[in-house]
Amino acid sequence: MNDVRLGRLTGHAVAGGRYDKAILPLGATEYHGPHLPYGTDTIAAEALAAAFARELGQTLVLPPMPYGVSHHHLPFPWTLSVRPDTLSLVVRDVADSLLGNGIAKLLILSAHDGNAPAAQVAARHLSQDHHISVAVFSGWQRKSQAALAGRHRIDLDHAGQSETSLTLYAAPETVRLDLASMEANEPSGLAIDVVGSFADVVPRGYSGAAASGTREEGEAIVAALVRLVVPHLRLLDAHGWKAGAWMRQP
Ligand SMILES: [Zn+2]
C-alpha cells in the first residue's frame, strides 16, 4: 500500500492516487523534558493524521508543520515558536495551494494546545473567504482520555505518560525511557484558560508519570482516536463536507 504522506511520495506515486481531501498536521518544536524529543507534538500530529488517512482512503497527509505557537514554552531551551497570526497565515496559504490540485476539503489536525486558536482562526477564514471546507481536530489527550476511560488512565500532562506512550508507538527510537520520571501532580481542570508562561506553572518544563508510558498504550490511543474520529469524517464525506442537520441528534 502506498504511503499516504505527501512528503514521502514521488510524483509518479502521487499521480496514481485519487485524493479528494487532505489532512494538515500541526506540531511544535518545544522542550519535552530529557526523555522526549523536541518534535513530540509533530510526531503525534503526523502519526494520527496518517492513521486517519489510511482508514479513510483518498486522503493525502500533508507535510507536518514543525513550528507551533509555543511562546508559553520559550523559557525552556531550544523551544522555537511562531506567532498565532503566522501559523494561521501558513495554514491558509497551504490550503490555498491545495485548490489548484482540486482539493477543497481539509482537516487541520493539531497535536499541540497552543495551536488550537490559530487553527480555528484559519479554518474560519478558509470557510468564509476561500470556499474551502474545513474541519479541525485538536485535544487528542482529552479525547482519548474519554474514549479509553476504564481501560487506560490517559493524562493531560506535558511530556507525561500519554505523550510518552504515543511517542513510543510512533517514533520509539527518539525516546529515552531511562530518563523518564514520575511527578505526582496533574492539571487541576480550571474552568478558565489562563494565558501565561508554562515555566510559572511547571518550573522544570515537563510533568506527569512519563516512566509509566508504554508502546501498547500509544497503540491503544491511536486506535481509540481512529474509532472516534474516522466515522465522523465518513459522515462529513457523505454530506459533501457541508455543515447541516446531519450534525444534530435525532
Ligand atoms: Zn507535547
Q: Kindly report, residue by residue over 168-222, the tens digit of the pLDDT.
A: 999 999 999 999 998 866 777 789 988 888 888 888 899 999 999 999 999 999 9
Contact 175, 36 (CB under 8 A): yes
Q: How far does residue 248's CA lie from ligand 1's centre (Å)?
A: 33
Rounded Cα distance between 61 and 103, Å, is 12
- Please tell me the distance between residue 1's alpha carbon and the centre of ligand 1 in angstroms: 30
Helix (H) or strand (E) holding 51: helix 40-56
Q: How close is the Cα of 41 to the center of ligand 1, in Å?
A: 5
User: Per the structure block, which three cell numbers stand in for 243?
Assistant: 455543515
CA of 20 to the centre of ligand 1 (A): 30
Residue 189: per-residue pLDDT: 79
Domains parsed from the chain with CATH numbers: 20-186+199-245 (3.40.50.10310)
Q: Calculate how far, in angstroms, residue 55's C-alpha sits from the geometric centre of ligand 1.
A: 25
Q: How far is CA 94 from CA 5, 64, 107, 138, 174, in A?
A: 15, 11, 12, 19, 28
Centre of ligand 1 from the C-alpha of residue 116, in Å: 13
- Residue 96 Cα, ligand 1 centroid: separation in angstroms? 28
pLDDT at position 51, please? 98
Q: What's the first-to-final CA gap in the chain, in angstroms?
A: 38
Sign of the Cα torsion 7, 10, 13, 17 reads positive
pLDDT reported for residue 1: 58
